[in-house]
Chains A and B, each alone.
Chain A
Amino acid sequence: MTFTNQQMERYSRHIILKEIGVKGQQQLLRAKVLIIGAGGLGSPAALYLAAAGVGTIGIADADIVDLSNLQRQIIHSTADIGKPKVASAKEAMQAINPDINIITHHGFVAAANINETIAPYDFIIEGTDNFPAKFLINDACVLAAKPFSHGGILRFAGQLLTYVPGQGPCYRCIFTAPPPPDAVPSCSEAGVIGMMPGIIGSLQAMEAVKFITGQGQLLTGNMLTYDALATSFRKVRLHQQENCAVCGNEPSITTPFDYEAVSCDI
């Protein structure tokens, strides 16, 4: 693959990096990343990965753009209200970089479609807003041996974790199962500061780029947490659980399944 003059200019700040260079940029152009959730986390991840020249980006979401999304979901504009989020996200990504291929998946991910949805992709960004989807994506990625980045946000706090098959714990090793509905924050508790998904979603995109180019150390084996009020990042070492229901020695989960959705998640 040789670069056109336009590509050399567009990706010049990557190409001059020793860690990316010509080879890394070619790896990015050949890579396929799926972003599940075109919301707060998916917005910066999709925009940065499109700008970076990730050659194929899938974006999955069932929702339409709502006025209440725009405080944090920066891929969508006021004029997009009422459009499917995947359509609005595709337009914004294509406007930044017409060089890439964007595939939209308009609908909910569920046990019935998750395997075929993730199959074509090299890396998955989990940017969903509810526990059933987070566990479904974790289980499907573990069972299909797909690397993924989990991101979670609430109020002034955020967290992320990177799963690579055989290289550390999965999301279920740490959280076991979704919390009972009465432990999920109520509507009045479920606010989130607008910049939080910007920070966590950008970190997830960074993990995807590091995975694709093989540079640096991934977050595998750790959870990174960010407390905006305290202005502090913490990297907490975590271990794979031998008795994990999906990635443990004797897994009881051998195929993805759906949990019942609870209302008013963030």
Chain B
Amino acid sequence: MTEKTWQKGLKWLLGVWLTGVTAAALLWAPPAAGFQGDSFRIVFFHVPQAWVAVLAFCVNLVASLRYLRGRRPLDDARATAAARLGLLFAILATITGSIFAKIEWGMFWNWDPRETSIVILLLIYAAYFALRQAVADEERRGALAAAYAIFAFVTMPFLIFVVPRVYASLHPNLVEAARGTVRFKMDPHMRMVLLAALVGFSGLFTWLYTLEVRVARLVAARRAQEEA
């Protein structure tokens, strides 16, 4: 099946869009008050990556639920693809967050509540794959992984909302510094670039996800052919 023009067009658009966002983030967005130099610019990548990691988790949730309902291997493949991407973007978000911390505060790690939440998400993804590896039977693997993912998902709101607030009572001085990152006064230009980055990364995730699912489909089809 050769590629349709609109698909090609979308890819070009995505490429141009994100290149533009990167350029804008590096060159156009005005510097934020109170930050060392241009370190904050990485936030334009960091926030969307964290967002995509969460988005991937949601996609994984839907696929897991569907797998439990119909036990279709394709749904399990979808869940795995989403989890793999979620892991990738959680790692990226942790790295960019850590780079920011290093430039801004001089330490690679700071344990501010948002960072901690991303790390916990990262651990959940890693645990998901550790579980998958430990089960030999395909259907059981899919079912157990789906059950774990769904269970983990319900603890996520607590990760994102409760942990930061409770954490604040434990480390008030740390939170003062962290507040600066998450709620800095957003210049309208900055807001625009951030929004554009969010859209761009979401598009990137969608493309990556569809690619991975297509691969899974092909592999499954090929295996079915060999067995026939």
**Co-complex (A, B):** no
Interface positions of A (Cβ within 8 A of B): none
